[in-house]
Structure 1
């Protein structure tokens, strides 16, 4: 793969391309999709995929991203392809802003962060149940739809970052929201997405990432050092919510909650505030275990003694898109790995029915 920043590309079916944002990894353009007369965003990789194998891998992962886009809190992906000179592109729903912009001027309240967290955790649960990872959850990848809804972006190009060169992997990840195991070149896992979402929710309320001492981005070396430091409280955030976020940012990935557990715990929070509870992010049940192609399959299914009983996840999560047993199966330990320890963060977890009865 060759890194060559493209000039304004020619993309079939699109006209009026103008730059929205440029980065070291890709350039985003605003354009008009002529066939249906709508404004769209097109993200074009700065690197060329010159080998046929790289191009096939991109298109395979783009199809996986297309399945994710059916979730109400995932950016819709309309099309994908290659420009004439080998730059991969994705044509997506156009959003006008991101939570990275929002947190710089007006950090979220705990209730708003809970609402966003429930919806994005549900999107991750859906992805993990299908064997797809995001790998770059951060405020800049949480966009705001024209209806004011949080939308998770960059599934396709984030998954494309699976490359064999570890130095490129470190270039692609965002250190402020990356889990400690990513700096050890550990294989990507759903636990890293959970860490990144909890770090993102923390930043949205505090206005800067966890353990950030000032406005200067630390180096990769110093980022490794700060993982041993405690995560400061955010003024005005209830201790219970801080405890949940700290559990999601545990240095040991084996004790973090799954995306389903994080979503359900956030949904069950009652801050005793006047603000409304979040609406259910998705009532799209998983009717059967998704069929995974070999390239998307995770490790072998759980052994019988490792499985979670249905009662453990039927409190809230059975009505949402993700399924915890499927999520666990994706991140299941192999026979040579230690069993996943049960996640604990509060001495008592009440169901929605119990809370409604109060």
Structure 2
């Protein structure tokens, strides 16, 4: 990542104060900011590139984000391009990332429902995320989870799209993403399945010491075993998300949300979502599944088998 000239950033954003670095990655640097007139803290995503196409890609990202108005997707306030400097002004999420949170099992399911609802909204607008991972799931100060960093998302038409390049985080990439095949909503569900597998088991889907080529082959060829210590309804749903073929995964993020809500209720009992302790905004039909009286697992120890990781 090139060194960022904060003076140029400040000059491109009159009316904003520019603070310290909040994070960085392959697709940009994020700085703290403050809109003085509106008395509002913000996050400023910075991208500098000598490639003229970078500005076009960045504007595309901003347009995509501006279309996504959802309580579990980070808000985008503004986009500014000055030569090779591209700035995206976003909602500041001060609660940290999922990568740095330890969650009880009910809370992990609540995050899964929130992300699934966000993906349902994004997919309905023709947007794939393509980089679902704990570092891209952030929290507000009061603990509301939000999906961020659609920087490598891509508009798709119909049910799938052909990716022009392989992008994503290898630890969470779907088989079709690795092999350069056609992508669709099931691609994001695979990554969400990996995230939830890690949350429920406290372990990685693949051994962490694997070299990159072996890790990628693990995603494309190795069928994962049932997640250890996870009650059957949740474990079976995770394995369906991790199916090698997209058509064998749940039929869309909305259907996954229904199945997750139903499975969690069978494990944790009625009103588990209220006990999860996180603000989650869902449709009435999905939330209703968390309050219904469903058959519980016969062994109460199954609930305690889920580690708080």
With the shorter chain as reference, the TM-score category is 0.7 to 0.9
Q: For residues 77 and 93 of structure 1, what CA distance do their matches in structure 2 show?
A: 6
Q: For residues 217 and 269 of structure 2, what CA distance do their matches in structure 1 show?
A: 41
Give 1:266-305 correspondences, 5 Å limit: 266-269=260-263, 270-273=265-268, 276-278=271-273, 281-283=281-283
1:277 Cα deviation after fit:
2.5
**Match of 1:225?**
217
User: Does the CA-based 8 Å contact 2:270-2:292 persist in structure 1?
Assistant: no
**Match of 2:184?**
189
Q: For residues 89 and 64 of structure 1, what CA distance do their matches in structure 2 show?
A: 15
User: Does the CA-based 8 Å contact 2:21-2:30 persist in structure 1?
Assistant: yes
**Match of 1:73?**
72
Cα-to-partner distance string for 1:112-140 (whole Å, 9 max, x where unaligned): 22111111101101111111111111000
**Match of 1:43?**
45
Give 1:209-358 correspondences, 5 Å limit: 209-211=204-206, 213-214=207-208, 216=209, 218-227=210-219, 228-257=221-250, 258-269=252-263, 270-273=265-268, 276-278=271-273, 281-283=281-283, 316=285, 352=289, 355-356=292-293
Residues paired across the two proteins, number? 277
Cα-to-partner distance string for 1:234-264 (whole Å, 9 max, x where unaligned): 4442121011011011100111111111111
Give 1:23-42 correspondences, 5 Å limit: 23-42=25-44
Cα root mean square deviation, aligned = 2.9
**Match of 2:137?**
142
User: Does the CA-based 8 Å contact 2:226-2:236 persist in structure 1?
Assistant: no
1:95 Cα deviation after fit:
1.5
Q: For residues 274 and 178 of structure 1, what CA distance do their matches in structure 2 show?
A: 32
- Give 5+ residue unaligned stretches, structure 2: 157-161, 275-279, 296-309
User: Does the CA-based 8 Å contact 1:177-1:196 persist in structure 2?
Assistant: yes
User: Does the CA-based 8 Å contact 1:203-1:210 persist in structure 2?
Assistant: yes
Partner secondary structure for residue 182 of structure 2: coil
1:6 Cα deviation after fit:
2.6
Q: For residues 80 and 199 of structure 1, what CA distance do their matches in structure 2 show?
A: 32
1:194 Cα deviation after fit:
0.8
User: Does the CA-based 8 Å contact 1:141-1:152 persist in structure 2?
Assistant: yes
Relative to 1, partners in 2 of residues 1:94 and 1:352: Cα closer, same or farther, differing over 3 Å? closer
- Give 5+ residue unaligned stretches, structure 1: 285-315, 321-350
Cα-to-partner distance string for 1:30-88 (whole Å, 9 max, x where unaligned): 1111221121111112434524xx534432331221121x2111111111122x34132
TM-score (norm 1): 0.69
Q: For residues 95 and 14 of structure 1, what CA distance do their matches in structure 2 show?
A: 17
Point out the more displaced range, 35-44 or 135-144. 35-44
**Match of 1:339?**
none
Which residue, 6, 10, 22 being the options, matches 1:20?
22
User: Does the CA-based 8 Å contact 1:141-1:153 persist in structure 2?
Assistant: yes
TM-score (norm 2): 0.79
